[in-house]
Structure 1
């Protein structure tokens, strides 16, 4: 999981924990808040009524024949009751709140009631202001809905800002990964450009990575230079030994056993020379010592390779089906491309069955030219598919004529031309090499 995704997951979990905590706290306190709100509203009504009573005669509300005056709305949600009571010794300045049931027009409802006793013009009165407790539920529902909406909006905004901020914060890390580590096939393409960041940790990481890449690059080029120099220097003693053995064969007094030993030594030198030349070729390719300015016609190139291997095809009665539908041209190094395709085709011949088939087809896929070379051979062991391009890795360990560098050359040439290679192989059915050329 990416670091930014982990930050986002952490933020989501913490926000969920906060929401749950707030919700639990809300459930514990919302009823008390609702009662306080309702009590405050009833007190406001009481103050309003008392202010009107002080400005008008109370006889307008209570006649001499009646001792009570009641007023309630049509929905029975609230009522006001004013009645004459006997004198009381103790009076509160605010009144008393209680939850009681009242029957209004034969309908029983639960009310929050404020009972307030007061004197007016020498007479004792009692004022009751009741409001239905159903409003408490309505208030709770409204408050719960409002709170939920506010919390959700706040969480979404905080998640968005957290995601954007972590993205901005981690952007230098993504740049370090992309420029330093990804899409780097060899040290010659290492990028040492400074990464812009104000984060000290990222600066330290970038500097350490650059130092490490420089050491890797130095070791890599030193190793390649060593291999190239050693390979080049080995050619001279090999040539000298080859000449001496050939001169010994011209001696008249040499016996047959000695001739056989000399021929065997010459074969060994030839095998050693091929290895050295292959290592030199790989080294030159990796050092980019070849030009890529030749226009290559794959159709004609494959026809020339077919002519070169025709005698080997006849030895095993192998049939070649060259089914190219497109005239594909590209710029590269013709000699290297020929070597790449030649090595694959010779392997298709070498590991093919008697009277087998080699099929060469082409196609375009997602704008890329695709060349496929398939055979009906013995196939490749699945364990070896992962290491097939390693140097000195042989497809057949019992083969004495292979030095295990042919497919290494194929991969080096493909990388040099930015060609991707896929391999499909089924044991005793055959192998297909698919070359994906750059657009």
Structure 2
């Protein structure tokens, strides 16, 4: 038994409400159960109850056992003085009082809940599959599933936007620098995100902007700071980069700011994802003459954005994946799927963050519209949903399905999910028997 089941029972009043009495023997009528409190403090706010002949307005707290009130030290917290009802599953011989000595009424629900509802809840949580409701999700009306997907998609965008705002503050409230650092981390494609971020922190965009007419110098600054310029038998191209970096590192005081070479991961990566090629592609993108930030937030069409992101690096990297090792078949241009990944993980959070910063909802709406223009991602999580018959057709669907899976299904937050709640509410609601 978990407390979220008590929250569910109280919020939807899924228990027998006839002849309702507190443990202390007073009659009880629920005028309004209140609103679930997602923050610290009592579990429900603005509840309205009739206890005996007195109407109360205040908060409601729920625990599996009555004694948990004391265990959680609520009796020492003045924030709980406004609690007008304590809901429990297992009653114990504990009298709870406010700081003024008045008794807090308690309602025990264990004998007022249909066994079939409890069984359905326990069965849902006991499911061993990756998605607890997998066997019954087809019973939920599509409108309910769609509503939940919409909810979690917006949660995902807001969570990512919050990260962008944190970065914006760390970047001195400079949107260009923020965009640059976001792009750097994204070019690491998870595996090498951290060393990419380190490089972007060590070499500010304002330095690179001074050299954006010279791709070789940008490459020298990035590869040198990345710690990837090995001076042992370099070929002509690498030797040139070493000379350029030696001069520029002294000029901009970067000599002691190299990222350790061992920070970069190579194992089990396809050559197209090698950090050397990704850095070369990133360097090419930074030669864009105008504002990258403006380009990313003002372009409406996903196709146009993808064209700008699908850069082709310098000539050397069109025949190399690593320094000194040429190849006849190099996939030098950033691929379609990688560009779509950048759009999802950089452009969309940037749009939502900027929407909040400027208090202009149009930018958030544009982010959602771009998601609907992009094809769905194909990964382990999206395939799980598709196998259950859930249509994953656009990036909107795939992003929502990933968020739902990671933050609800894996943690079994079924009673915070409209799909899980719908399955439980399918049980007959008993109001008077």
Larger RCO (CA within 8 A; separation ≥ 6): 2
What TM-score do you get using the length of structure 2 for normalisation? 0.20
Structure with bigger gyration radius: 1
Higher strand share: 1
